[in-house]
Amino acid sequence: MAQFSKMPQIPRKDELLSKAFQRARKIKKIIDKHDRINSIREYEQNKISTVSTVISVTIDNILLKTPKIDTLDPFHKHMVELVIDADQFKKSLAALKWAARFNTGICHKYRRRLKGTPLKSLAPVRKECYGRVSSILKQVKKDFIFLEDSRNILKKLPNLKNLPTIVLAGYPNVGKSSLLKCLTGAEPQVQPYPFTTKKILLGYIDEKIQVIDTPGLLDRPLEQKNKIEMQAMLALKYRANLILYLIDPTETCGYCVEQQKSLYKDIRSSFEETQILLCETKYDLQPRKKTPKKSLTKDTPYFLSSKTNEGIDPLKKRLLRSIDWKTYSFKPISFKSPPGNK
Ligand SMILES: Nc1nc2c(ncn2[C@@H]2O[C@H](COP(=O)(O)OP(=O)(O)OP(=O)(O)O)[C@@H](O)[C@H]2O)c(=O)[nH]1
Ligand SMILES: [Mg+2]
């Protein structure tokens, strides 16, 4: 997701500490022969300042470049909540903020303490400060790890464009990803088993239409849908200007037509406002008869084959012709008999 791709890599707490201590080690020890104690004092104070600065700059940069989940648009916000523990994410950011502030305060205190410290105790006092800094970061060790793990998940979320958008939906294994490939040239993973697609994938028709391929849905209530299916539901709810509902009449997907029709009915009633086109997939596997092919439902479908490309170009042309650039959506696409792709 674009918003999270700018989030900087989150170091482990030990990485951050060694970076800070290493930077401090590089400070040159310049001793003024006439004022030995003060020059050493200044040297130790500089070391503390450097450690404090490295830690607070690193953490401030993380806080600045991490998007606020609550200000994301509803689709992205829900997607984030689906893939990571958003509450923990906020708590971990707050913990880092606390650590940075506390750390600055401690370092400030020790720098002042050095002012009244005798020569032989200067280095030990500075080391004591290092110990305090380490123990503060130790308290947020898990937060560094959690944030980095989350960043790695969030940066993989898709970058959606602001284009008229079609969402492909249907049971697992019905041919959604194959259709995405045919329509857009995208290279999704296609496998002969269900639940191949585990996250939403994108492709573009002539750079004018965005097509979202979703994980397979099962015909079951929303509360029972798993996190992978929920990504498909979010795409349908928030991003679909048009839904292509795919039915596999050959049942080679492993699900019977009745189940697929029942999900179709569900999707129609859940997304009443959205235009839905029915597509029957794997047309190459269907027995050819001389009489026009009969539809499985009362709605007239497009008959498509991603293997032989039958029906793909007419569908593409129809979609491109139907773009309504005023609303960034699609004009109503009506089917006139006889059913087919002409
Ligand atoms: N013969 C034939 N096979 C197809 C066609 N479309 C897809 N398939 C096959 O059906 C299987 C599933 O295809 P996918 O495109 O991965 O299906 P999917 O709906 O994306 O599946 P999930 O991601 O698991 O939900 C693969 O073995 C494809 O090769 C088609 O038009 N004709
Ligand atoms: Mg797929």
Of 167, 171, 173, 309, the one to substitute when testing ligand 1's pocket (max ligand atoms within 8 A of C-beta) is 173
Last residue of a domain, one of 154, 175, 195: 154
Mark whether 249 and 145 lie in a shared domain.
no
Q: Whose CA is nearest to atom 10 of ligand 1?
A: 175
> 191: CA distance to ligand 1 center in Å?
7
Cβ(195) to ligand 1 under 6 A?
yes
Bridge partners of 276, per DSSP, are 243
Token couple for 236: 């349908």
For the chain, the domain total comes to: 2
- Return d(Cα 128, Cα 245) in angstroms, integer: 66
Mark whether 135 and 169 lie in a shared domain.
no
CATH number of the domain to which 35 belongs: 1.20.120.1190
**Termini Cα distance of the chain:** 38
- Return d(Cα 200, Cα 229) in angstroms, integer: 10
CATH number of the domain to which 320 belongs: 3.40.50.300
Mark whether 68 and 204 lie in a shared domain.
no
For the cut 70, the answer to whether the pLDDT of residue 24 exceeds it is yes
In a domain, residue 233? The reply is: yes
In a domain, residue 144? The reply is: yes
Q: Whose CA is nearest to atom 21 of ligand 1?
A: 173
In a domain, residue 135? The reply is: yes
In a domain, residue 336? The reply is: no
What value does the mean pLDDT of the chain take?
92
pTM for the model stands at 0.85
Of 218, 306, 309, the one to substitute when testing ligand 1's pocket (max ligand atoms within 8 A of C-beta) is 306
Mark whether 128 and 189 lie in a shared domain.
no
The per-residue pLDDT for range 235-280, each reduced to its tens digit, is 999 999 999 999 999 999 999 999 999 999 999 999 999 999 999 9
The per-residue pLDDT for range 155-178, each reduced to its tens digit, is 988 889 999 999 999 999 999 999
Of the bound ligands, which one is closest to the alpha carbon of residue 201? 2
φ and ψ at 82, to 5 degrees? -80, -35
Mark whether 191 and 211 lie in a shared domain.
yes
Ligand 1 atom at minimal distance to the Cα of residue 172? 25
Q: Which domain holds residue 122?
A: 2-154
DSSP readout, 282-342?
Answer: -GGGSPP-SSPPPPSSSSPPEE--TTT-TTHHHHHHHHHHTEETTTTEE------SSPS--
Bridge partners of 205, per DSSP, are 209
Last residue of a domain, one of 97, 128, 154: 154
Mark whether 8 and 64 lie in a shared domain.
yes
Which pLDDT value is given to residue 314? 93
In a domain, residue 223? The reply is: yes
In a domain, residue 341? The reply is: no
Last residue of a domain, one of 154, 178, 193: 154
Mark whether 116 and 236 lie in a shared domain.
no
